Structure 1
Amino acid sequence: MPTLHPSRTRIAALVAAGGVLLAGGFAGLAPERGAASSHREAPLVSGQPQYDNTDVYAFVSPDRPDTTTLIANFIPLQEPAGGPTFYKFARDAAYDLNIDNNGDSLADLTYRFEFHDRLKNDKTFLYNTGPVTSLDDPDLNFTQTYDLTLIRRVDGNVHGTRKIAQGAPVAPSNVGRASMPDYAKLRAQAVRPLGDGTAAFAGQADDSFFLDLRVFDLLYGANLKEVGNDTLSGYNVNTVAVQVPTRQLVRNGDPVIGVNSTVQRRNAAGGHTQVSRLGSPLVNEVVVPRGKKDTFNASSPWHDAQFAGFVTDPELPKLIEQIYKIPAPPGPRDDLVQAYLTGVPGLNKPRNVRPAELLRLNTSIKPVANPDRLGVLGGDKAGFPNGRRLTDDVVDISLQAVEGELLGKKNDLGDAVNANDREFGSTFPYVAQPHSGSDVRGARSGAAKAGAKGKDGETVNLLNAGAVEDAAGDEGSGVPGLVPIAAGSGVVAFLATCGLLWWRRRPGRLGG
């Protein structure tokens, strides 16, 4: 992700940066370098949203405590009405959920999703040609399916593969209420039981991350006033998820697993190159310096210890001290090393651990009826940094941790965004339903709303909206000048210019 964008760049990332700094070590890894992960946190992958991890979650399933749920989100900042070519997984990529179950920082199990496209009618521009009532509805013109493969490794080397799902349907983009009158039904059809207590899901969802991304405006405006706005509200992502009996994930009686997600992209030689990586939140965004972000995304956790300096001497608390005069805790920050690299002793540290940026989860700690959004800092050991639940406020947790909460330096730092804009589900896959293309995220200044009255008293609708003058009057967008200009010979050039400016300003599909 080339430029930091308020996307997944999440403020949380900045927060966790202190802790995740640890993740920042990845220099000199694979010769084929990839992109970054999260919401536009690294230069290369920011321009390739299909391959960009935004968040990873790992938690003991609240309604099935004998299972563990793993979730990874991709393609950040999806504008729900962003058609006619809506959001799909890449066909040339392998989307992996990786599990280390012996503490050596190498993946022992990988759940790999690979996607396939199908277009029924290439003579229309439409994503769907009528109301869609099921995933096999002939009116759903574009569909995706996926194959899910379980890969077993020993010392990082593949020792066996087994396809556990083939041709499973992907939940489509939520085009709108006219196109998909019962989207919840489509979502339910995309949840696939795979036998032996395992289930899988792939499809669109509301972006689960909640925070105020204006943290990147010199840490909330340099005056602490730019807080309290969930700047990811209203956007969607694409989600892959598996729910697996915990006994199948753990090894040798150690209940702690390390989890991350990677994306491997097919290269010209027919092999795969890792282009995105994500474990703990906010690591690549605010812990890893810009010059190392792409290297991090292409690297293996095995090499992370060499960059422990980003964790033991993090940049974030120094920036907070510089801007807000809050003294940074003295280094070295061994507290952050435990929180983000090794796991916390007695909580989620494996018996034999190699320091690495992984989301570490103690699967023996059962879920609680009323999760505390501050996780472990709030006295709830089932929450972040012990894994990550959808409801965990990782931005506030990370900010408080980087400012010394784990060292006894009490503080209440936070971005004033404490919950998601949509309610999470109570059953797998738990992620909230995606926003519909029928929903309007915000009204353009000067726009006349449907249902409003025009100057002649008629209700504004599609048939007469072209005759409605700028709702803002002379103080609006400047369109009043259109009439005299259109009367002249320069009308074509003027309209073309307006169209270009509109196109360049429209909310784009941001990567990262």
Structure 2
Amino acid sequence: MTYQFKFTTKIRNPKTFLYNTGPISDITDTTWNRPQYYTVTKVKNGRSTVLGTKLTTPPVNVGKRSTPDYATLAGQALHKLGRRRVFAGQRADAFHVDLGSIFDLGALRPFNEAHLISMPNMGGKNAVQSYNVHTIALQVPIDEVSASGDRPTDPMSADAVIGVWATASRRKGRVYDSKLGKYVGNGPWVQVSRLGNPLFNEVIVPMAEKDAWNSAHPANDAKYTKYVNRPELAGLLPVLYPGVFPNLAAYTKPRADLNAILMTGIPAGVVPGFQNYTGPVQSDMLRLNVAIPPSETENSLGLVAGDAAGFPNGRRIGDDVVTIELRAIAGLTIPLVDPSFTPDGAASAVEDGTTDTNAPLLETFPFLGLPGGGYQTEPGTTSAS
């Protein structure tokens, strides 16, 4: 089953460069010069059902003069489609990662002194601090997406597990229409991007194969299994941090733990009382056991910290997926499938040193915080007024 979002942008006044020609106090205001609308369609077993049309996004949070009451504008863009809720628009980014350090030869600032090219230890720096992101949020009833068509209650039932991924598509070609004075899309829709497990494409897939991976369906992911079974980063850690990961360096078996986490789901019998196995087909997608209730107190390290409602059982906004995946690649999860292996001490401590210092989450849909205004936001802050 697929939920499709198709967007259309309108320019009200083509004679001005301005995004808005006055304050925007309502999403219907004509002072907003570039409104955007979208349609949501559900496709199941080849049958399409339009769930909503001409749904409005909010404007971006320009600043105090242009969007003086952004919370109201964002609230007007929350749409209810039967038992579903949907929102598409700008929100505060809740992700945190030290990109500048990790992509500088695999450096982790809290462990700088142990790196092959040593530097003083220091705390991590969130590379996406105070960023805004364009978000598509969809809330659906569990019985609409479960295989059985009801709300599963047994976590060990195969019907309790769903697999989820997202894709983006664009028209195959763009041609300049001189009569319209703009480029128009032509040809079939072509998939140009996808996302399942976080950081899969960035860290697992080699650079030369990223475009091919982005255009592929998860059912065809078997060709990438070799990169999961023997991930490049797992081989680099003992080299970049001499003497820190001797057990990982000596481990030569295919990484069945990572294969289960990323490619098939974790089968029953690996973690007591838990499974999110979708079958033997190798495919990168988020897997969620919908029979496992939300945790009363979330642990941002998810399943590896005993919180079965967290990543890699789905992905909550607050899950520290960077640390979880770093520790898994470092060998912390190998004993789940190979009890003879003893993880290196650093495997349970490795991290990028960032924490969630972003704008606070909301307690209600769409959960991501309000975006920072263009006028009032300063780099490194979380202001969203």
Shorter chain as denominator, the TM-score bin is 0.7 to 0.9
Q: 1:226 to 1:265 in 2, by over 3 A?
A: farther
Q: Is residue 145–residue 168 contact of structure 1 (8 Å, CA) maintained in 2?
A: yes
Larger gyration radius, structure 1 or structure 2: 1
Question: Which residue is equivalent to 1:174?
Answer: 61
Q: Is residue 375–residue 383 contact of structure 1 (8 Å, CA) maintained in 2?
A: yes
Q: Distance in 2 between matches of 1:162 and 1:373?
A: 37
Q: 1:218 to 1:440 in 2, by over 3 A?
A: same
Q: What is the aligned length?
A: 329
Q: Distance in 2 between matches of 1:177 and 1:372?
A: 36
Which structure is higher in RCO with an 8 Å CA cutoff and minimum separation 6? Answer: 1
Mapping for residues 75-474 of structure 1, pairs under 5 Å: 109-153=1-45, 159-195=46-82, 197-214=83-100, 215-220=102-107, 222=115, 223=118, 225=121, 227-252=123-148, 254-268=159-173, 270-325=187-242, 326-327=245-246, 328=248, 330=251, 331-346=253-268, 347-350=274-277, 352-408=279-335, 409=343, 410-442=347-379
Amino acid in structure 2 at the alignment position of 1:143: P
Once the two structures are TM-superposed, the CA of residue 440 in structure 1 deviates from its matched residue by 4.1
Q: Is residue 264–residue 278 contact of structure 2 (8 Å, CA) maintained in 1?
A: no
Q: Partner of 2:140: helix, strand, or coil?
A: strand
Deviation readout 1:44-102 (Å, 9 max, x if unpaired): xxxxxxxxxxxxxxxxxxxxxxxxxxxxxxxxxxxxxxxxxxxxxxxxxxxxxxxxxxx
Q: Distance in 2 between matches of 1:208 and 1:351?
A: 28
Q: Distance in 1 between matches of 2:279 and 2:353?
A: 38
Q: Distance in 1 between matches of 2:98 and 2:191?
A: 30
Q: Partner of 2:333: helix, strand, or coil?
A: helix
Give unmatched runs, 5+ long, in structure 1: 1-108, 154-158, 444-512
Q: Is residue 221–residue 283 contact of structure 2 (8 Å, CA) maintained in 1?
A: yes
Once the two structures are TM-superposed, the CA of residue 307 in structure 1 deviates from its matched residue by 2.1
Once the two structures are TM-superposed, the CA of residue 165 in structure 1 deviates from its matched residue by 0.6
Q: Is residue 42–residue 49 contact of structure 2 (8 Å, CA) maintained in 1?
A: yes
Q: Distance in 2 between matches of 1:152 and 1:164?
A: 13
TM-score normalised according to structure 1 size? 0.62
Q: Is residue 264–residue 279 contact of structure 2 (8 Å, CA) maintained in 1?
A: no
Q: Partner of 2:187: helix, strand, or coil?
A: coil
Q: Partner of 1:280: helix, strand, or coil?
A: coil
Once the two structures are TM-superposed, the CA of residue 274 in structure 1 deviates from its matched residue by 0.9
Deviation readout 1:221-275 (Å, 9 max, x if unpaired): 6447464211101211111111000000001360111110111111235211110
Amino acid in structure 2 at the alignment position of 1:247: D
Q: Is residue 391–residue 420 contact of structure 1 (8 Å, CA) maintained in 2?
A: no
TM-score normalised according to structure 2 size? 0.82
Question: Which residue is equivalent to 2:178?
Answer: none
Q: Is residue 265–residue 279 contact of structure 2 (8 Å, CA) maintained in 1?
A: no
Q: Is residue 373–residue 418 contact of structure 1 (8 Å, CA) maintained in 2?
A: no
Question: Which residue is equivalent to 1:5?
Answer: none
Once the two structures are TM-superposed, the CA of residue 407 in structure 1 deviates from its matched residue by 2.4
Give unmatched runs, 5+ long, in structure 2: 153-158, 174-185, 269-273, 336-342, 381-385
Q: Is residue 204–residue 227 contact of structure 2 (8 Å, CA) maintained in 1?
A: yes
Q: Is residue 42–residue 51 contact of structure 2 (8 Å, CA) maintained in 1?
A: yes
Once the two structures are TM-superposed, the CA of residue 435 in structure 1 deviates from its matched residue by 1.4
Deviation readout 1:122-176 (Å, 9 max, x if unpaired): 22221111211111112212100000110113xxxxx200110100001221101
Identity of aligned residues (%): 39
Once the two structures are TM-superposed, the CA of residue 187 in structure 1 deviates from its matched residue by 1.0
Q: Is residue 256–residue 334 contact of structure 2 (8 Å, CA) maintained in 1?
A: no
Amino acid in structure 2 at the alignment position of 1:256: V
Q: Is residue 145–residue 170 contact of structure 1 (8 Å, CA) maintained in 2?
A: yes
Once the two structures are TM-superposed, the CA of residue 213 in structure 1 deviates from its matched residue by 0.8
Q: Partner of 1:354: helix, strand, or coil?
A: coil
